[in-house]
Amino acid sequence: MYMIISVIVAYLLGSISFSVIIAKKLRQVDIRQHGSGNAGATNTLRVLGVGPAIVVLLLDCFKGVIAVIVALLLTGGDAFTASAAGLAAIIGHNWPVYYGFKGGKGVATTIGVLATLVLMPALFAGAIAILSIILTRYVSLGSLLFISGTTLFVFIFSIVSSYSNDYLYALLAITALSFWRHRSNIERLLKGTESKIGQKATTN
């Protein structure tokens, strides 16, 4: 019962789209109709600027953190339920029930989820992702490196330490979902036409 409650709460929490809310509040616009059309921090940066983008990034991360913490508290630290709740929060961000199931790509929420579930692997992968963004200015590439890198580090940690396999299974699902959601970005990266930080976004 607690697992079901945790997953439902996580999905509903993940469905809160802070980029949509803030864009409506500041500019009276639907951010999904501007820039790349993505309801997330990167498109908020392009459409609204640095300040609102930072707020969206932090709030989207925070809802991933809260979703996992609630699941852990309700179940006494069950890894499987926490992982399922984290995945549900990301799905909620991507397909929010409050906004016609049209959301973002879940990167910031994924950061919050992974940092709460598997902090050390996420930190290692995060350092690599940040470096790649600094060098290439491709946020999408950094996002994919973070998520896939965290999965790789969790696999390594599960071999040498007591990491639960539930985390690895969840990470594999999250990685597959992220790559699928970024499929248009991957295509543009391969063609060399992906938008960089500071450039006008290509509509998805």
pLDDT tens string 87-100: 999 999 999 999 99
Residue 170 CA to residue 117 CA, distance in Å, equals: 10
Tokens of 7: 């997953």
pTM: 0.91
What's the average model confidence in pLDDT over 42-60? 93
Mean pLDDT of 164-179: 92
CA–CA gap between residue 185 and residue 190 (Å, rounded): 9
User: Averaged over 50-69, what is the pLDDT?
Assistant: 96
pLDDT, one tens digit per residue, over 125-168 is 999 999 999 999 999 999 999 999 999 999 998 888 777 788 99
Q: Is the pLDDT of residue 110 over 70?
A: yes
Q: Where are the domains of the chain?
A: 2-191
Roughly what angle, to the nearest 10 degrees, separates helices 107-117 and 119-136?
140
Q: What would the pLDDT profile of 184-201 be if each residue is shown by its tens digit?
A: 999 999 999 998 886 655
Give the mean pLDDT of 105-123. 95
Q: Is it the case that residue 204 has pLDDT exceeding 90? A: no
Q: What is the pLDDT of residue 166?
A: 87
User: Above pLDDT 90, what percent of the chain?
Assistant: 79
Residue from 116, 138, 152 nearest 42 by CA:
138
